[in-house]
Amino acid sequence: MSNKKTARNSGFTLLEMMIVMIIMGILLSIALPIYNRSLVRAREAVLHNDLFELNKLIAQYTLDKQKAPQSLDDLKEGGYIKEIPKDPMTGEANWEVEQEDVLLSVDQQDPGIVGVHSASNAISSEGTAYSSWH
């Protein structure tokens, strides 16, 4: 007998390769939806945090200045925030602002904003529109 391997023992068979590919496909079909859900949940967590912070800063500005900000840029110019964050659902800093009721505003001549919402009308994993979140 010689030390040379025969052609039959030197590699994988087509059947073995197919079995490995099928197993990899099954694992990927399980892992991808879980990964996608975790990405959505992470973006939703960022949205919740951004909404909380922006609304808190609007309230702080209003208390400090005795006047609601006219836009989110007033928060930036007043030193309350370095940059207006991007809406994680739209990828842009295009927040929908909630205008102050004229009759309830401190300065009835120049009412400002009292809150922000996401500009996205997509539906969240909770079943509500992102634009309805506060």
Q: What is the pLDDT along the chain (134 residues), one digit of tens a residue?
A: 455 555 556 788 999 999 999 999 999 999 999 999 999 999 999 999 999 999 999 999 999 988 889 999 999 999 999 999 999 999 998 999 998 776 555 555 677 898 999 999 899 988 999 989 88
The pTM of the full predicted model, rounded to 2 decimals, is 0.76
Residue 50, in any domain of the structure: yes
- CB neighbours of 131 closer than 8 A, spacing ≥ 6? 96, 117, 118, 119, 120, 121
Return d(Cα 85, Cα 89) in angstroms, integer.
12
Residue 113, in any domain of the structure: yes
Total number of domains constituting the chain: 1
Query: What residues does 98 pair with on adjacent strands?
Result: 115
Domain that holds residue 25: 13-132
Residue 29, in any domain of the structure: yes
Angstrom CA distances, 113 to 98, 107, 117, stand at: 6, 12, 11
Would you state the pLDDT for residue 80?
93
Residue 8, in any domain of the structure: no
Residue 6, in any domain of the structure: no
Residue 69, in any domain of the structure: yes
Residue 92, in any domain of the structure: yes
Return d(Cα 110, Cα 67) in angstroms, integer.
9
Q: How many of the other CB atoms lie within 10 Å of CB of 105?
A: 17
Would you state the pLDDT for residue 12?
85
